[in-house]
Amino acid sequence: MEKYVYMFLHLFTVSYPLAQSFERRITYYQKWRFLWPAIVLTGAFFIAWDVYFAHLGVWSFNDRYLLGYRLLGLPVEEWLFFVTVPFACTFIYEVLNYFIPKDILKPYVTPVNWVVGVGLLVLAVVFREKFYTSVKFGLTGAFMLGHWWAFRDRYLGRFYLAYLVSLLPFLLVNGVLTYLPVVSYNNSENLGIRISDLTGVAFFNIPIEDVVYNLLLLMMIFTIYEMMKARQTAKS
């Protein structure tokens, strides 16, 4: 049964959002047509990144917990990660938008976005010898500032609220992946700081960079998702 671990995590991730997609208040299924382009475009970027980093040995996958099917050197389960995680997190985003209609974080997001974005760019330079850390921080910081330049704070407050809420399932799923481990990281390419070091919980053996990884993944997803929705609204 061990070889089904990663696949089971995917089923766990999408089970509730999928079951509730037809709930009459959220009607998530009606928004899928905006989500799929976001998943395809963002997934293509991240899969190319994953393939390259796996080739360099930045991370590796433990066949003990995998079905054994690979494409471009990546387990099929890793490909599915870029479908199930955005699907579930966008569901969280829509649920929060429904039940918390006021953009409660909007007054704070511009300074936070600038401080974090610029801070990540600085850290990317400081830790340029740590390839994963530098690339991850640099790309995320640049995208954060680029998003603000293009859209200002139109979506940022709602995005950051959904991102913060999604950290809980992120910690659970990635905790399993890194604790077993299903995924192993080459510490020579990252800071070597784990969330377990900060929390004292051994289960959260997750590189601190993965919190930033998740930030970029979801910000790209939500940016394209909202662009597709706005495009449809403009046509109406």
Question: With 70 as the cut, is the pLDDT of residue 168 above it?
Answer: yes
Question: With 70 as the cut, is the pLDDT of residue 141 above it?
Answer: yes
Q: Which amino acid is at 1?
A: M
Band (232; pLDDT cuts 50, 70, 90): confident
Selection from 195, 161, 162 nearest residue 88 by Cα = 162
Selection from 61, 26, 48, 81 nearest residue 218 by Cα = 81
pLDDT in the model for residue 236: 65
CB 115 within 8 A of CB 68: no
Segment 150-177 shows an average pLDDT of 95
User: 9-29 pLDDT, tens per residue?
Assistant: 999 999 999 999 999 999 999
Tell me phi and psi for residue 46, to 5 degrees: -75, -35
| Full residue range of the structural domain in which residue 138 is found | 2-234
Question: With 70 as the cut, is the pLDDT of residue 119 above it?
Answer: yes
Structure tokens at 208: 């601190």
Q: What percent of the chain has pLDDT over 90?
A: 97
User: 124-140 pLDDT, tens per residue?
Assistant: 999 999 999 999 999 99
pLDDT in the model for residue 235: 75
Question: With 90 as the cut, is the pLDDT of residue 233 above it?
Answer: no
Q: Where are the beta strands (DSSP E) in 21-65?
A: 59-61
Report CA-CA distances (Å) from 67 to 2, 13, 77, 109, 234: 9, 18, 8, 42, 44
CA distance 52 to 21: 34
CB 117 within 8 A of CB 144: yes
Structure tokens at 8: 């089971």
How much is the pTM? 0.96
Q: What percent of the chain has pLDDT over 70?
A: 100
Alpha carbons within 13 angstroms on the beta-carbon side of residue 161 total 23
CA distance 158 to 145: 17
User: How many folded domains does the chain comprise?
Assistant: 1
Report CA-CA distances (Å) from 145 to 103, 112, 113, 139, 152: 20, 11, 7, 10, 9
Question: With 70 as the cut, is the pLDDT of residue 64 above it?
Answer: yes
Question: With 90 as the cut, is the pLDDT of residue 87 above it?
Answer: yes
User: 172-226 pLDDT, tens per residue?
Assistant: 999 999 999 999 999 999 999 999 999 999 999 999 999 999 999 999 999 999 9
